[in-house]
Amino acid sequence: MKIQIPEITIEVTSMIEDDISAVLQIEHQSFISPWSERTFCEGISGKYPHAHFLVGKHQGNPISYINFMVVDGDCHITNLAVSPDFRRLGVAKYMLAKSLDQMKILGGRKVFLEVRASNIAAQKLYREFGFRINNIRKKYYSDNGEDAYILWIRDIQEISLKYARKKSQG
């Protein structure tokens, strides 16, 4: 899968061990409490059959990634990050669209995620796809006690169609 985004091409593939070093760098640049190398290695090892780790590459180098789980039609997006050098170019939007497509293929119906209450940019992205606040997890983030919004999509099929229509019109 490839897409043209102003002056860059992104290829989305399953994350492999060779991607971990670059992914960890993006992880540390993106999050206050980054995941460990072990978490990523276990995630791609097949230890968790419901877990899916995708990486977006530009010229063969990881610039973004998204992780999600699909269990009995319920999908949980656990992580999405883009290298600082490639932010504000539509990379996160593309990664989210590709992961939603993958979730549909895997039988996903509902999708949810947690996002920091202060992460306005991420909330805006998710709203574009039809995610809505379902609940609040008080003091969810252990690093500073910040609340998390639980965002969700009730019907991934419907939302994906709406997004496709919006994209073709705009």
- Which residues are known catalytic residues? 114, 126
Distance CA 88, CA 38 (A): 29
DSSP class of residue 48? S
Distance CA 107, CA 109 (A): 7
Residues 6+ apart with CB under 8 A from 119: none
Q: Where are the beta strands (DSSP E) in the chain?
A: 2-5, 8-14, 51-58, 61-71, 74-82, 110-116, 132-137, 148-153
Q: Which two tokens stand for residue 145?
A: 């006690």
Distance CA 56, CA 60 (A): 9
